Amino acid sequence: MMASEGIGALLRGIREAAGLTREEQAALLQAAQGGKWFDPENLKRWETEKRLPTPMWHALLAECYGRPAEEIVRAIVVSRRRRRLHRLIGEEAREEGSAVDRRKFLGVAAAATGMAGLPDIAEARHGINAGLSTSDGGDLAYLDGAFERHRGGYRGRPPSEALGQMKADLDLLRELLGRPHPAAVRKDLARTAAGITGLVAIIQHDRGDQRDAVGWFATAEQAARESGDRHMLAWVLSRHAMVPLNYGAPHAAAAMAVRARAEAGRSPSAAGALAAAVTARSLASVGDREGALRAVADARAAAARLDSVQGADTWFGYAPQKHHVHLSQAFTLMGRTREAYVEQESALALTKSPSVMTRALIAVDRAVCVRADGDPATAADLAVSAWLQLPAAYRDGLVRSRVESLCRSLPGRPGSTLRDALTSR
């Protein structure tokens, strides 16, 4: 495979010669970087040259594709030159009456492909610089990388800290969305926007800012619809459903989960599995145990069909640990404590440190089960212990909401004990 064909042809040709799907190749890239999440959509964009690999990926691509790093770089340069030439041709065709005459255009295009004559080289360089100054390729590639970094979850950071680290990326996203783009680029940008704004919504949900979470999810849904990516839309809807689910509107959550499952379709997906789990929890909340048990079965069947990409432990995946956490909550709400305890143990066995919020939520579920089994004093002790171990940065939002709900159900001294803990510093 010659690098002169560009990076897309190079990567695709090597993958197809090895008989690998994009998902399988993405799994190899993920394994090569120590299990760190790698999105198959990134590989698709590289193969179709909607995006070009940035320097941070060159060594990994060389390793996984068995090519020298120099060949990877040469192929990217070929692709970049070709994209610039096509852009220049497209601009020339669109801009009637432009001050740039045909001779200057040909000089710039020749420079982009390495064929400019020396007398015109300074003029060509200025033309290229002007074109590059309005090109968003670098910013778009950066946002793709930022999306991939942020989707990995909290990784031990408090929600407010994670949100603060996204501020600069949100500013860049807002700036890029205000610029004109070709239709294909706009679709990719809309997909990235849906992902990043959806992640902000998740954090705001966890912080307890329901109104802002709903607003960010609405933005994410609009962006997902503009992108035309139904899997992204299904993910946004399934995550959005958790806001009404966790904050007292289970009927609304169930309705949104139905929409998410419809968008996800029949193919295995993290969004479809999550939507089934949200349905189970929603129906359990309103007392529909038969419906909840059917949804539990659907969630288990969907989770069993996920590959390593869809089952990754990220905000975009539906990892086994998350699956058990959701089922723990569903069985807890149904009062089926024996099954809930099993799910809690399974979740804890898969929960990696630090996972502060996850451990706290499992502990609260266990306390609720103990309360349902008729031991309010022990339930209060479990909840107090979990609460006091929780760092101050996590004592708002979802965890507080769950503990306060338990507190309202505890009679007499156990309830007072937990209330005192909630009000302590």
The predicted-structure confidence for 23-81, as pLDDT tens digits, reads as follows: 889 889 988 888 888 888 889 889 988 888 888 888 899 999 988 888 888 888 888 87
In this prediction, residues 302-310 reach a mean pLDDT of 91
Asked whether 344 and 383 are in contact (CB, 8 A), the reply is: no
Q: How far is CA 378 from CA 161, 197, 384, 388, 419, in A?
A: 34, 41, 10, 15, 15
In this prediction, residues 280-298 reach a mean pLDDT of 94
Residue 147 lies in a domain: no
In this prediction, residues 299-314 reach a mean pLDDT of 91
Residue 41 lies in a domain: yes
Residue 259 lies in a domain: yes
Burial of 401 (0-12, 13-18, 19+ CB in 10 A): middle
Evaluate if residue 86 carries a pLDDT over 60: yes
Domain boundary residue, one of 94, 125, 154: 94
pLDDT at position 87, please? Answer: 62
In this prediction, residues 82-103 reach a mean pLDDT of 53
pLDDT at position 107, please? Answer: 44
High-pLDDT (> 70) share of the chain, %: 86
Band of pLDDT at residue 205, cut at 50, 70 and 90: very high
What would the pLDDT profile of 399-418 be if each residue is shown by its tens digit? 998 999 999 999 999 999 99
Residue 241 lies in a domain: yes
Residue 131 lies in a domain: no
Query: Whole-prediction pTM value?
Result: 0.67
Rounded Cα gap, residues 343 and 349, in angstroms:
10
Rounded Cα gap, residues 274 and 98, in angstroms:
52
- Enumerate residues 6+ apart whose C-beta is below 8 A from 305: 268
Rounded Cα gap, residues 233 and 263, in angstroms:
7
Evaluate if residue 100 carries a pLDDT over 60: no
The larger pLDDT score, comparing residue 146 to residue 366, is at: 366
Residue 203 lies in a domain: no
- Enumerate residues 6+ apart whose C-beta is below 8 A from 209: 397
- Enumerate residues 6+ apart whose C-beta is below 8 A from 291: 279, 283
Residue 284 lies in a domain: yes
Asked whether 250 and 287 are in contact (CB, 8 A), the reply is: no
Q: Which of 128-137, 175-184, 235-244 has the highest mean pLDDT?
A: 235-244
Residue 40 lies in a domain: yes
Task: Compute the Cα dihedral for 253, 258, 259, 264 and give only its sign.
Answer: positive
User: Residue 56 sits in a domain of what CATH number?
Assistant: 1.10.260.40
At position 154, the amino acid (one-letter code) is Y
Name the residue with tokens 């912080």: 207
Number of domains the chain is built from? 2
Domain boundary residue, one of 318, 336, 354: 336
Note down the domain range covering 280.
236-336
Domain boundary residue, one of 336, 364, 389: 336
248-262, 264-278, 351-365: range with lowest mean pLDDT: 351-365
Asked whether 409 and 374 are in contact (CB, 8 A), the reply is: no
Asked whether 120 and 107 are in contact (CB, 8 A), the reply is: yes
